[in-house]
C-alpha cells in the first residue's frame, strides 16, 4: 500500500532525529570519556606528585640526620687529646641505636714510624691478631706496603660483623684515599661514590662518609695547615640497601618504587638503591610517570626517582570513566528511541491539534454566540452574573450591575463586598444568614434580599448561587446570578390588591342584594306587625274582660279555701285531744 506524503514525511523526520541523536550521543559520550579520563589522570598525577615529594623529602631529611650524627662524633673526637678504645665504644653505641648505619669508625693518621706502636696498642686492647693490612687485586688480605703514612680502621662499632674491617688501610684503596684527601684538603665532609665494603666483599654496594678531625688548638685554615695537622677521620659506613631501606620502609607502604643514584659516579656505578613494590614489574628506564628530586650530599649529588607501581596505580587511579562508554551508549540508544517515539507522537499530536483546533474554533465561535445570547438574555431579563471569594469580595460582576446598583464594574471588583449593598437595618441579619450558608457550603436558591442603589432607593433581588470549591474541597467562593424583581414585586402586590378590591366589590354587591331582600322582608314584617297590632288590640280587650272575670272568680274561690283550712285545723285538734294522729298536714 502506497504511503501518503504525510506518512513519508513522518518517517524522514524520525530517521533524521534518530541519526542526529545517536551522533550527538556518541560525540558527547566519547568527549565525556576523554574528559573524565584526563581528569582522573590529572588527579592521579597530583596524588602521585604529592606523595612522591613527601617520600623524597623524608629520605633526604633522614640522610641529613645521618650526617649530623657523624658530625657529633667528629666534634667529640676533636675535643679529645687522646682516646681509648673503650671510651670510643661508650660514646658511639648510643648513636647506633635505631640507626641504619653499618659501622662508625675512627681512622687515625698513622705515620710509618708509628705503625708498630698502633698495632701493639691494639693488641693490648684484646685484639691479638690486629695488623694494618691492605687487599691485593684478588681481594685477599696482604701486609701493608711501606709508605709514609697509613689510615687504618682502628676503632669500630659495632665490632660484630665488621671484624674483617679492623686494620684495613683506607689509603690502600684509590677511591677511599681520594675521598680522604678531598676531605682533608677542604676540611669538609666527603661522601664516596658507590663501592664494595670490606665487611661484605663484593656482595653489596656501600657508601663511606668521611669527616676530617684536626689536632686540637692548632690552625687548620689553609690546605697546608690542614695537611700538616690532620689527626684522622671519623667514618660512617653504610650499606646502601640497609641505609635506604631503613628509611624508606618506615614510610607507609603505598606501592611506590624508589631508585637512588649518585650522579657524580661513573655510569656503571651510579645505582645506590632500588626498591620495587611487592607486586608487578617496573619499567625503570622508560616509565610512563615518574618523580625525580636532586639533593646534595657532601661533595656529591644524589637523585631520587619515584615511580608508581601497580598497587599504587590500582588503588589511586580511578577507572570509573570506563563506565561512561557503556552507560553513554545505552542512554544514547534510549534517548534515540524515546525521541523517535516522541517525534512520531508529536507529529501525530500536531495533526490532532490542528484537527482539534478547528473543532475548538467552531466550538469557540458557537460558545461566543451562546455567550452573546446569554448576555443579551441576561441583560433583557435584568439579571447580572457575579462571583465572590470566600470573604464575600467581588471577583467579577457583569456590566449590567451598573444599571442595577449604579456602580461601574471597576468600582466593585476587588473593592466591595456583597453585603455592602444590604440595607443598614437588615445588614447584620442578612450577613449572618449568608455566612452561615457559606460555612455549610449551601446552594442559594431563590434567596430574597434587599439592596441599596447608589442613589439610595431599594432594589429587591432574587439570588441564586452555587459554592466554588478548591481541589481540597474547601470553599473558595460563590458564583451566582441576581435578578431585579422590584418591578415584578410591585406588580404582584398591585395585582393582589386589585384582586382584593374586586372581591370586595363582589361582596358589596352581594351585601346590597341581601340588603334589598332584607328590606322586602322588613316591609312584609312591618305589614305583619300592623296586622299583629290590630290583633293585639283585640286580644288586649279580651284580656281585660277575662281579667275582670278572673278577679271575680278569685274573690269567690279564696274565701272558700280559707274556710276549708280552718275546718282541717279543727279536725286535727279534735284528733289530738282524742289521742290520735293528725289527719291533715298543718298549713301555715
pLDDT-above-70 percentage for the chain: 87
Segment 558-574 shows an average pLDDT of 70
Quote the CA–CA distance of 184 and 222 in Å, as a whole number: 10
Residue 303 has what pLDDT? 92
Residue 268 has what pLDDT? 84
Cell 629520605 locates to 59
Q: Are 394 and 421 in contact (CB under 8 A)?
A: no
Residue 105 has what pLDDT? 93
Higher pLDDT, 276 or 200: 276
Quote the CA–CA distance of 391 and 493 in Å, as a whole number: 35
Nearest-10 Cα torsion for 296, 298, 303, 304: -90
Residue 353 has what pLDDT? 75
Other beta carbons within 10 angstroms of residue 204's beta carbon come to 14
Q: Are 214 and 241 in contact (CB under 8 A)?
A: no
Cell of 414: 476587588
Segment 183-201 shows an average pLDDT of 86
Quote the CA–CA distance of 115 and 329 in Å, as a whole number: 86
pLDDT confidence tier of residue 46, bands split at 50, 70 and 90: very high
pLDDT over 80 at 249, yes or no: no
Would you report the helix, strand and coil content of the chain in percent, each value rounded to 5?
55, 20, 25
Residue 228 has what pLDDT? 92
Q: Output the average pLDDT for the chain.
A: 82
pLDDT over 80 at 568, yes or no: no
Segment 30-37 shows an average pLDDT of 89
Q: Are 130 and 143 in contact (CB under 8 A)?
A: no
pLDDT over 80 at 309, yes or no: yes
Number of helices (H) and strands (E) in the chain: give both, helices first: 12, 19
Residue 168 has what pLDDT? 93
Encode pLDDT of 504-535 as tens digits.
777 877 777 887 877 787 787 778 777 777 77
pLDDT over 70 at 212, yes or no: yes
Residue 202 has what pLDDT? 58
Residue 498 has what pLDDT? 64
Residue 449 has what pLDDT? 79
Residue 370 has what pLDDT? 65
Segment 174-184 shows an average pLDDT of 92
Closest to 127 (Cα-Cα) out of 154, 150, 109: 154
Encode pLDDT of 444-453 as tens digits.
888 887 888 8
pLDDT over 90 at 473, yes or no: no
Q: Domains (ranges, CATH) in the chain?
A: 59-312 (3.30.450.350), 381-483 (3.30.450.20)
Encode pLDDT of 110-166 as tens digits.
999 999 999 999 998 888 889 999 988 887 889 999 899 999 999 999 988 888 889
Cα–Cα separations (whole angstroms), residue 398 to 61, 224, 314, 477: 94, 123, 79, 17
Residue 27 has what pLDDT? 93
Give the lowest-confidence range in 87-96, 410-419, 559-568.
559-568
pLDDT over 70 at 347, yes or no: no
Residue 257 has what pLDDT? 86
H or E stretch covering 525? helix 486-577
Quote the CA–CA distance of 110 and 430 in Å, as a whole number: 132
Higher pLDDT, 142 or 351: 142
Residue 375 has what pLDDT? 62
Q: Are 421 and 458 in contact (CB under 8 A)?
A: no
Q: Lay out the sheet containing 300-308: strands in order across.
A: 271-275, 256-262, 300-308, 291-297
pLDDT over 60 at 323, yes or no: yes
Quote the CA–CA distance of 71 and 80 in Å, as a whole number: 15
pLDDT-above-90 percentage for the chain: 18
Higher pLDDT, 490 or 260: 260
Amino acid at each position: 500500500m502506497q504511503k501518503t506524503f504525510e506518512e513519508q514525511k513522518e518517517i524522514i523526520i524520525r530517521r533524521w532525529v534518530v541519526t542526529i541523536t545517536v551522533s550527538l550521543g556518541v560525540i558527547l559520550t566519547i568527549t565525556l570519556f576523554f574528559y573524565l579520563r584526563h581528569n582522573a589522570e590529572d588527579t592521579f598525577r597530583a596524588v602521585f606528585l604529592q606523595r612522591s615529594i613527601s617520600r623524597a623529602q623524608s629520605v633526604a631529611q633522614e640522610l641529613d640526620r645521618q650526617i649530623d650524627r657523624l658530625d657529633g662524633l667528629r666534634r667529640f673526637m676533636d675535643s679529645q687529646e687522646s682516646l681509648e678504645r673503650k671510651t670510643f665504644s661508650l660514646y658511639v653505641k648510643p648513636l647506633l641505636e635505631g640507626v641504619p648505619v653499618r659501622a662508625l669508625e675512627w681512622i687515625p693518621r698513622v705515620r710509618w714510624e708509628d705503625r708498630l706502636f698502633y698495632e701493639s696498642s691494639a693488641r693490648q686492647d684484646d685484639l691479638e691478631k690486629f695488623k694494618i693490612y691492605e687487599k691485593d687485586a684478588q681481594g685477599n688480605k696482604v701486609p701493608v706496603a711501606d709508605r709514609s703514612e697509613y689510615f687504618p680502621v682502628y676503632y669500630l662499632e659495632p665490632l660484630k660483623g665488621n671484624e674483617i674491617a679492623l686494620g684495613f688501610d683506607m689509603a690502600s684503596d684509590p677511591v677511599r684515599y681520594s675521598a680522604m684527601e678531598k676531605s682533608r684538603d677542604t676540611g669538609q665532609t666527603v661522601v664516596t661514590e658507590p663501592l664494595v665494603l670490606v665487611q661484605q666483599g663484593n656482595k653489596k654496594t656501600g657508601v663511606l662518609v668521611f669527616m676530617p678531625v684536626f689536632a686540637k688548638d692548632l690552625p687548620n685554615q689553609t690546605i697546608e695547615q690542614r695537611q700538616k695537622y690532620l689527626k684522622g677521620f671519623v667514618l660512617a659506613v653504610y650499606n646502601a640497601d640497609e641505609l635506604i631501606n631503613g628509611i624508606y620502609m618506615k614510610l607507609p607502604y603505598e606501592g611506590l618504587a624508589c631508585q637512588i643514584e649518585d650522579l657524580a659516579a661513573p655510569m656503571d656505578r651510579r645505582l645506590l638503591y632500588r626498591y620495587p613494590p611487592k607486586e608487578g614489574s617496573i619499567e625503570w628506564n622508560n616509565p610512563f610517570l615518574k618523580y625525580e628530586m636532586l639533593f646534595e650530599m657532601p661533595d656529591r649529588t644524589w637523585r631520587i626517582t619515584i615511580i608508581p607501581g601497580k598497587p599504587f596505580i590500582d588503588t589511586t587511579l580511578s577507572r570509573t570513566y570506563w563506565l561512561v562508554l557503556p552507560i553513554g551508549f545505552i542512554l544514547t540508544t534510549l534517548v534515540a528511541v524515546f525521541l523517535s517515539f516522541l517525534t512520531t507522537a508529536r507529529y501525530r499530536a500536531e495533526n490532532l491539534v490542528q484537527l482539534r483546533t478547528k473543532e475548538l474554533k467552531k466550538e469557540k465561535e458557537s460558545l461566543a454566540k451562546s455567550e452573546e445570547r446569554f448576555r443579551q438574555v441576561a441583560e433583557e431579563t435584568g439579571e447580572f452574573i457575579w462571583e465572590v471569594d470566600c470573604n464575600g469580595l467581588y471577583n467579577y460582576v457583569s456590566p449590567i450591575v451598573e444599571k442595577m446598583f449604579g456602580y461601574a464594574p471597576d468600582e466593585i471588583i476587588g473593592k466591595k463586598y456583597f453585603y455592602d449593598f444590604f440595607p443598614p437595618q437588615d445588614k447584620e441579619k442578612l450577613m449572618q444568614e449568608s455566612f452561615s450558608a457559606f460555612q455549610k457550603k449551601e446552594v442559594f436558591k431563590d434567596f430574597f434580599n434587599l439592596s441599596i442603589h447608589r442613589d439610595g432607593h431599594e432594589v429587591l433581588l432574587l439570588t441564586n448561587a452555587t459554592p466554588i470549591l478548591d481541589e481540597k474541597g474547601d470553599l473558595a467562593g460563590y458564583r451566582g446570578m441576581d435578578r431585579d424583581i422590584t418591578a415584578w414585586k410591585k406588580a404582584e402586590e398591585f395585582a393582589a390588591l386589585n384582586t382584593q378590591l374586586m372581591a370586595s366589590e363582589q361582596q358589596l354587591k352581594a351585601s346590597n342584594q341581601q340588603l334589598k331582600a332584607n328590606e322586602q322582608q322588613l316591609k312584609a314584617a312591618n305589614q305583619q306587625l300592623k296586622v299583629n297590632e290590630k290583633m293585639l288590640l283585640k286580644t288586649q280587650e279580651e284580656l281585660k274582660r277575662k281579667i275582670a272575670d278572673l278577679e271575680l272568680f278569685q274573690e269567690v274561690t279564696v274565701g272558700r279555701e280559707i274556710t276549708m283550712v280552718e275546718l282541717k285545723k279543727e279536725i286535727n285538734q279534735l284528733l289530738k285531744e282524742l289521742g290520735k294522729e293528725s289527719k291533715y298536714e298543718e298549713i301555715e
